[in-house]
Amino acid sequence: MNRRRQHKKEPLLTGWRFVTVCCVIVLAFAALFARTAWIQVVSPDRLRMEGDMRSLRTTVTSTTRGMIMDRNGEELAVSVPVQAVWADPKQIHEEHSLDNEQAWHALADVLGLPRDKVLSRVDNPKRRFVYLQRQVTPAVAEYIRKLRLPGVHLRPEERRFYPTGEINAQIVGMTNIDGSGIEGIEKSFNEWLTAQAGERRVRKDRTGRIIEDLGVVAEARQANHIQLTIDQRLQALAYRSLKRASEYYRATSASLVMLDVRNGEILAMVNTPSFNPNNRSQYQTFRARNRAVTDTYEPGSTLKPLIVVSALENGVIKADSIVDTSPGWMRLGGKRVSDTRNLGAISVQTILQRSSNMGMVRMALQETPEQLTDTLYRFGLGIDSGTGLVGESSGLVPQRRRWSDIERATLSFGYGLTVTPLQLAQSYAILANGGVRYPLTIVKRDEAPAGEQVIPKQHADSVLQMLETVVGPGGTARKAAIPGYRVGGKTGTSRKAIAGGYGSDYVGVFAGMAPVSNPRLAMVVIMNEPQGDKYYGGDVAAPVFAEVMSGALQLLNIRPDGAQDEQFQLAGVGE
């Protein structure tokens, strides 16, 4: 027993193993300390960046596009809140959202899309964002929200709404699905109407709640509203009358422009055919064109008052001159120019009243081409009106080195040049305003602009008095007369040019102003290619002028100046 006790040994601690273990522990702590020091002291930015990537977010403030209003504040274009439906395909596949087939059927039905088409948009699990449908109504959005489909989300956006529909479609225009203007005022003033969204930097927790507001990244810029010179009451009246007449005469298109002669403001501008900008399925490019500023026509006899002004100004005639139109026709350059019958020696007033081509040719041949074209330019023909409307044409006033007699002759009764309805309306506004031209505008001005005297007042007034006889007995525009008001104007009927000459289609025009005693409004009505037996301006355009002008004078509370009203007032006083 003692021997066993003697052989029992105590355990020994091997020195090198102990040292090795201690070294490893010390090195591990040193590495951890070094790593901690590196992260916290030497290079802390990366850790902060990793944290920020998981918590920092930029939020965008909602913005609303500016409104478009008429001169009285009535809304013509507004933005309404809607929702966009979007999906996260990766989340859909990770959470097995597609297993709920009934809900996906309901989603496809409410969106009005085939189920296969909806599923094809979310079949790629690597994608994180895809639109299912834009601009859905609040009711549809609420239905989708109640489906509670994982991976299907809603986001707020705006949709442009046009309360007046097709009446103002070509003027106001419309926006695309992203809210950028693509037609009309929406396009011309897109930057002015567009708001700039503001951005804020925030910190969010894992549930998406904002726990810290870090400040503004970009300041928001509010949208601006636009107030047009259009009077919606007159616009609706003009569109209704023009549409009814164009359908009755089966015209290819028609346009009407009404101006305030005192300041150049456009009070009404309508075209047919039109479209409803709230229903994109009706959109066609030819319907969206604002024909009052884009389409040009040979004005025909409506140019004659301007040529008479030129003749008066250049001393060719006087207001009371007599012009011999016998024998009622002449041949120039192998071509015949004639009246419907021989009117003989007639006054300048009768030349306009009876629309004598021969009388106009006699005057025009005594002027130089430069004198004629200079007068037309001063009336605003052949130049841009400056309204800024999309697609506006400047028309064409011919410039030639050599003019033949037949070219001067045809120019005198409205052939060989082209004008827009807006330009022709401006010309008659200048006549009505004593020869003063105001810059045209479609946007309401804060202050009235300064006018420019472009033709002598006495000549403008003389021609205005002559134009009143055109609407009276013996004139070509008796259908343009308005009971109780003195009206002046001129009819025009021109054949449409085709390759190699003129075809069988016509353009019927009437341009006029009222009341003659104190002109306030100038208007042009154009019927393009009316079908049937009636195609003269006095038949197809003058009645539209009378209906719209009569309504406008009453709506604007403009006092009657006709002889009938004077007699009525005197009779009333006597009683």
Task: Encode pLDDT of 418-475 as tens digits.
Answer: 999 999 999 999 999 999 999 999 999 988 888 999 999 999 999 999 999 999 998 9
**pLDDT tens digits, one per residue of 246-289:** 999 999 999 999 999 999 999 999 999 999 999 877 778 888 89
State the burial class of residue 358 (Cβ atoms within 10 Å of its Cβ: 0-12, 13-18, 19+).
buried
**Spatial distance between the Cα atoms of 152 and 106, rounded to a whole number of angstroms:** 13
Residues 6+ positions from 236 with CB-CB distance below 8 Å: 164, 167
pTM: 0.84
495 near 560, Cβ under 8 Å? no
Query: In the prediction, which pLDDT does 487 show?
Result: 96
Evaluate whether 317 touches 360 at the Cβ level (below 8 Å): no
pLDDT value at residue 562:
78
Q: Which pLDDT score is estimated for 50?
A: 66
Q: What is the pLDDT of residue 566?
A: 40
In three state form, how does the secondary structure of 263-319 look? CCEEEEEEEECCCCCCCHHHCCHHHHCCHHHHCCECCHHHHHHHHHHHHHHCCCCCC
Domains of the chain in start order, with CATH, are: 59-227 (3.90.1310.10), 232-570 (3.40.710.10)
CA distance linking residue 163 with residue 177, whole number of Å: 18
pLDDT attached to residue 569: 37
The one-letter code for the residue type at 201 is: R
The parts of the chain modelled with pLDDT lower than 70 are 1-14, 42-48, 50-54, 56, 59-62, 198, 206-208, 215, 217-218, 220, 563-575
Task: Report the sign of the C-alpha dihedral through residues 481, 485, 490, 493, in that order.
Answer: negative
Residue 338 annotated among the catalytic residues of the structure: no
Catalytic residue among 274, 301, 355, 356: 301
Q: What is the DSSP letter of 145?
A: H
